[in-house]
Structure 1
Amino acid sequence: MTAQPIRWRLGEASFQRVLLWLCGCLLSTAAMAQPNPLTLQEALRLARQNYPALKAKEKAVDVAREGVAQTRTQRLPSLKVSEQLNYGTTNATAGILLPFGTVIPTTGTFANEASYRGTFGSITTLYSEWAPITFGQYQARLDEAQQAVNVAVADLANDAFTQQVRVTQTYLELLAIERYRQVQRQDVDRVTTLGQIVGRLTKNGLRPGVDTEFANAEVAKAKLALFAAQDREARLRTQLATLLGTSAQNWQLDSAYITRLPSSVYLDSSATLHPQLGLLQQAIRLTDARTSTLRKSYRPQVALLGGTWARGSGIGANGDINWGVGGLPPNRLNYALGIGLTFNILDYARIRSQVRQESIRSQQQQDDFRQARLELDNQVSLADQRLQLAQQQAEQAPVQLRAAARAYRQQTLLYDGGLGDLTALTQALYNLRKAETDQLLITNQAWQTLLSKTAATGDFAPFFNALRP
């Protein structure tokens, strides 16, 4: 009895489900193997959106803005409510004082003799202070808080720009190592074929056996170089994923940055708007604002005072002492208005020392600014020279590659025909390998040099414009 096909044993519906499952697996595998296109602009967007360190800098900006809001609340009057329930002696001195500064108010009548008998009492107060006149102190504190926001924003912009440079540099390096790996793969195939030729000739006695060992060594060397390229590629892919704030993927990078030289639109630019210089400028302004706040802190402060309070006392109008809790409820209501002025005369020496300290710090920051500006300008000048040199190198690289390829083919034919030796063939192979690597690296180095100029000028627009025809 012949066995029925599997489709009939499983049933029509089951067979269709299995078929669909197999198709899904094949499609999923194909989708996983399919490279994910990743342009440089998209990589920069992902890094700006996902990188945790930049998100932390954004939170620092929010913290600084809350500092401005907190400074504005210092303009509001204070309003304090307090309640006291007391039990104490009846000795006191007459008078009514508002609790301003360090004054301790005391009230009541002066007793004829000291008494240590106690009674209950209470006081409920509603007290307010408002300083409408600060002689510029409030505005100075507000300006300092706003400058702190500007520093935080400039710090975020500088870190974001530095992150863009790091992402672009890693992107270009990964693109170069991917192409270098392909070159090394071709070199492995080439030396493998060469090893087969050498093996055939030595087997037939046309070449000495030592040539086989040399050929095997070249094959092993080419494979080791390929493995090193694969390792470098894996590390760069992980590094790029970390900078993007995501997991490593099989990205398909933009090959234009490895096959085309940058155009000449990058020649006119300067470092005046560099984020690093902007951060240093904001730091100087913050120091100057802090100096202004210190100077104005020596000025007096005028405050409007107002209060109302209710007293409860266990001492009657005739001087009798109520021994119970009848003195706890308030039985007298009072109010008072006043103007207070505070001025710490002896603060001058302390504030003057702090002002001198901040002035020296401002001078130090200005020197740092000039140093950074000098270094950035020199980097721009160096990048311009290297870009011109890269253009000249790019003109000679194809000539070298064509000549090396012809020389290798000729040496291979000569060796195969018994007219050449392995030393000359190995040298030709080395020259061809170097020419292919030079052709690859010159273009990448041109973009890396343009990136170094971008890092010195602080503007990415020329970098992307250099890709246009």
Structure 2
Amino acid sequence: MTRKPAKAILVFTISCAHVLTAALSIAQTTAPTSPTLDLKSALDLARHNYPSIKAKDAEKESAAYELRLMKNNYLPNFIVQGQVMDATSNQLRGTFFPNEGTAIPVSGGIKVNGYTNDAVWTSFATGLVNWKFFSFGKYKAAVEEAKAGMTVAEAEYQNEIFQHQIRVSDAYLLTLMLDDMVKSQRANLSRVKALKDVTVAYALSGLRPGVDSSLVNAEYSKATLLFLEAQRLANEQNVYLKELLGLTGGGKLTLDTTVLLQQLPQQLQTEKGFDGNPRLTVYRNTVDFQQTRIKAIKRRELPSVSFLVSGWGRGSGISDKLTDNGDFVYKTSFSAGVPFRAYNYMVGISTIWNVTTLFKTSNEARQQRAIVKIAEERYNEESLKIESEWERARLRYRAALEVARQAPVQLKAAQDAYAQAKARYDAGFSTVLELTQTFSVLNRAEVDSSVATGNVWRAILQYAAATGEFDVFINNLN
């Protein structure tokens, strides 16, 4: 849930200043130039802007159209055709294979005068209704499969929204925490600069030893480095937050600081389960979807019963009259061949059953059962992960809450230590080295104080991510 810049903060502060106790994120370091963006508005903005959410919404829409398509398959096929052709009519006795409809069909009877290149106009029109009104459950199984697919798409869409809400909320919290850290580093830099100015002036006048000036200059350089590093991390995290919101262009976000980090959230009831986690819902629905495919595969073994109705008319330039030698009379004009001369109709029921499908679907069903097993085990794996996240979130919340209670005590003691050390140094009873040591203690205590509150919020967010109940977090903003 944290990003690399947040990890960099932890490494930096441990090695250089020991001022952070948890991962942080970006802060505003300049005067705001845009309206304040509260967390709820940020979540709404991300939901409408972020590409992955839009993609899942499109997948959901696609699944809905797939369901409509499966339902439309029950409608009868109504086919109409009309054609006019100029063609010869030579034919031989015997048979031929149509090559899946690519061969030209026979066009006339056997003629006594042999073959000829003479061509006549012919016409043909037909209307056909083919309705597979009974399919032994194949149609219903296909619809159920499409419904299960749409359920999976809907679950994935809701899960994408939920997971992105968690990412945005965490980035928002880290942004505020880094903002507070930058303020602490700026305050620390101001304290060191004030001491530097006084100490250098005293050293130049001979009232303080020169080593004091050197020590203070070193402390000032360290404080400057801490401040610059905090600014860098803040700027990087601000860019990351804008990315999660789907925003482009320059400028910094101005965030609302009236609730988060200013107060602790309400007490959290950590006994709720995690069965409603959207990630689990996706995996559970995927198992159901794969199981419906087994039924659809088995239904394909069965035949279909069709109701057929058709009517057609045909015209030809070859007359029914014969010449003296017994051949048909050819009329090559367009008007002689196009008008219909014969009409027919057909009404009936047809059954088609590809028996060899039994062998194919048997292996396909076995393969699908293995796929169902894969989906079930992935669900079990995800359930273990989420249960672990749930337990860790409960532990983190309790620990973060205890730290938040102790942080003000640490801050008060550090402030007192700094005030006492400064008073002793101003009175000439202590060295500058003793005073500079209190700078780091006070700086760490100031950062720890704001970090402690932010970590309680982040612990609740992690708990919400594990349980799948985002309201556990968002209701505390009211």
TM range, smaller chain: 0.7 to 0.9
Identify which of 408, 433, 436 aligns with 1:398: 408
Q: Which residue of 2 aligns with 1:438?
A: 448
CA deviation string 1:398-443 (max 9, x = no partner): 1111111111222222223332223222222111111111111111
Q: Which residue of 2 aligns with 1:221?
A: 222
Identify which of 398, 408, 412 aligns with 1:388: 398
Q: Matched residues in 2 for 1:317 and 1:190: separation?
A: 116
Q: Matched residues in 2 for 1:127 and 1:456: separation?
A: 58
Q: Matched residues in 1 for 2:90 and 2:340: separation?
A: 17
Q: Matched residues in 1 for 2:254 and 2:144: separation?
A: 48
Q: Matched residues in 1 for 2:374 and 2:456: separation?
A: 37
Q: Secondary structure at the match of 2:74?
A: coil
Q: Which residue of 2 aligns with 1:23?
A: none
Contact 1:93 1:109 in 2 (8 A): no
The structure with the greater share of residues assigned to helix is 1
Aligned residues with identical type, % of pairs:
29
Q: Which residue of 2 aligns with 1:7?
A: none
Contact 1:35 1:252 in 2 (8 A): no
CA deviation string 1:110-155 (max 9, x = no partner): 6568545644233222222111011111111111112221111111
Identify which of 427, 435, 455 aligns with 2:465: 455
CA deviation string 1:290-342 (max 9, x = no partner): 22111101110111122211122233223322141323322111111222211
Q: Matched residues in 2 for 1:86 and 1:127: separation?
A: 24
Q: Which residue of 1 aligns with 2:280?
A: 277
Does the alignment pair 1:43 with 2:34?
A: no
Q: Matched residues in 2 for 1:347 and 1:53: separation?
A: 40
Change (3 A) 1:103 1:288: farther
Structure 1 residue 41 displacement after superposition: 1.6
Q: Which residue of 2 aligns with 1:315?
A: 318
Q: TM-score, length-normalised on structure 1? A: 0.85
Aligned residues: 432
Q: Matched residues in 1 for 2:47 and 2:412: separation?
A: 43
Within 5 A, what are the aligned runs for 1:64-463?
64-84=63-83, 85-91=85-91, 115-116=115-116, 118-120=118-120, 121-246=122-247, 248-319=251-322, 320-325=328-333, 326-463=336-473
Q: Matched residues in 2 for 1:223 and 1:450: separation?
A: 34
Change (3 A) 1:54 1:369: same
Amino acid of the structure 1 residue aligned with 2:36: P
State which drifts further: 190-199 or 81-90: 81-90
Amino acid of the structure 2 residue aligned with 1:74: N
User: Structure 2: 5+ residue runs without aligned partners?
Assistant: 1-30, 95-99, 323-327
CA deviation string 1:67-118 (max 9, x = no partner): 1122222111112222332412254789xxxxx9999986865656854564
State which drifts further: 389-398 or 364-373: 389-398
Q: Secondary structure at the match of 1:302?
A: strand
Structure 1 residue 53 displacement after superposition: 2.7
State which drifts further: 101-110 or 78-87: 101-110
Q: Secondary structure at the match of 2:265?
A: coil
Amino acid of the structure 2 residue aligned with 1:157: Q
Q: Matched residues in 2 for 1:198 and 1:186: separation?
A: 18
Q: TM-score, length-normalised on structure 2? A: 0.84
Q: Secondary structure at the match of 2:319?
A: coil
Contact 2:89 2:106 in 1 (8 A): no
With CA pairs under 8 Å and 6+ residues apart, which has the higher RCO, 1 or 2?
2
Q: Matched residues in 1 for 2:177 and 2:402: separation?
A: 20
Contact 2:50 2:246 in 1 (8 A): yes
State which drifts further: 393-402 or 292-301: 393-402
Amino acid of the structure 1 residue aligned with 2:305: V
Change (3 A) 1:33 1:377: closer
RMSD, aligned α-carbons: 2.6
Q: Matched residues in 2 for 1:230 and 1:293: separation?
A: 59
Q: Secondary structure at the match of 1:257?
A: coil
Q: Matched residues in 2 for 1:68 and 1:93: separation?
A: 50
